[in-house]
Amino acid sequence: MVSNKATSDIVGKLWSLCNILKDDGVTFHQYVIELTYLLFLKMANETGSDTHIPQGSRWKDLVAKAAPVRLTHYKLLLVTVANSGSKQVKEIFANASTFIKKPATLSSLVTEIDKLDWYSVHREDLGDLYEGLLEKNANEKKSGAGQYFTPRVLIDSMVAVMKPSLADVIQDPAAGTGGFLIAANHYLRKNTDFEALTERQQQKYRKSTFTGMEHVQDTHRLALMNLMLHDIDGGIRYGDTLSPEGQELPQASLILTNPPFGAKKGGGLPSRTDLPFPTSNKQLAFLQLIYNGLKRGGRAAVILPDNVLFESNLGLDIRRDLMEKCNLHTILRLPTGIFYAQGVKTNVLFFTRGKRDSNNTKSVWVYDLRTNMPQFGKRKQLMKKHFEEFEIAFGDDPTGEAISARQDQGDQGRFRCFTREQIAQRGDSLDFSWLKDDLSINSEDLSEPAVLAQQAVNELEAALVELKNILDELNLEIES
């Protein structure tokens, strides 16, 4: 998402500075968090907005300190800013502490950041610069950050077909670093004449359009920094969406999200009280809170693993409830290998909340972007072009009404329609596959034994996750 060469160059230089911290035992993920504190101070200085930071704790004060005492000053600075800054600043610096142990390490980092040519980056590009850092962190296998980082091209495609509008309240209940909300913001700014908006309308946009929740504090601070640099005030709350805190999120007219997979830690049930079918299975719990959290006529695009499409017991009940309350008009079967350390195969479910709570899904169109596709990963990058045909097939109606009304109900190659009656005949399973795999398509990717071994590991991991979820559900039934 980095928008120009100057921004890209600075992203590269900032990322290369992590080498300074290697000898100090700082990990890649810790480095990005550390950099967030320093970049906040530096960018506040560059943009003239450091009035939100207490005097004595600003970037120029840190630079002015002698190298031997700078680390001591920095540690005190973090505590001071966390307790004395503006509300947003306090949230970004909440419980902040430094991973740096050696004074020389901090001094090298501060000196190098101060030397960068910040004048080459436009104010509106600072957010893209930070996004670039987050993306590099997610792509770095050793950082472990990819678990919450959805590929940007996938996010952009989901946003493009959902067509956010200024009238929307846009939510991500599993916000991560805010990628979905930032992409929606990019779409709106590109397709709206913001200069024609009144000051009141612009204030409403910045303060009330984007909502979400993130339960990992370090990830939450990254998300807040990300939103702030894109001129969005707050929006993402710190808390557990599967707890009563999540019930405080407002109803949304558009939900874009990639909720966590797997069982709830400890196997316990979510503590929020508004789920029709309580379950320790995170993806099934999130799916319920998403479709029940939509306003009437609200729409959603949600990334979910395959087991949601075919799992029995509570999974079956939840699918039926979804199809009753919403028009589940489209399922996009995603290629394999697009998530870091995720052997689980995934899909995007597109649905719209009905005006009433029954008989909303009449048919489901499934787009198969998995069969006869390459194994994506380091060797083969997922790109925008891979989603172009899907976006054309989806069309211009983000509500799904146009898709549901299509008369060409037969086989459309990768895009195929299944009526509600056909789904019922399959026991309400949504796990559709009709294309035959042509192994020659993947011959380049299957040529190396290491790739074959990794594919086998991925498939085994997926099977184990699915088995674990089934056992969790069976155990719950026995206990009840």
Q: What is the pLDDT of residue 145?
A: 47
How many CA atoms are closer than 13 Å to the CA of 225, on its beta-carbon side? 31
Q: What is the pLDDT of residue 285?
A: 94
Q: What are the tens digits of pLDDT across the range 9-25?
A: 787 888 777 777 776 77
Residue 366, beta-bridge partner list: 331, 416
Q: What are the tens digits of pLDDT across the range 284-305?
A: 999 999 999 999 999 999 999 9
> Average pLDDT, stretch 376-392?
87
Q: What are the tens digits of pLDDT across the range 309-319?
A: 999 999 999 99
pTM of the model: 0.84
Confidence of residue 324 (pLDDT cuts 50, 70, 90): very high
On the question of pLDDT at 476 being above 50, the answer is: no
Structure tokens at 249: 């999120």
On the question of pLDDT at 141 being above 60, the answer is: no
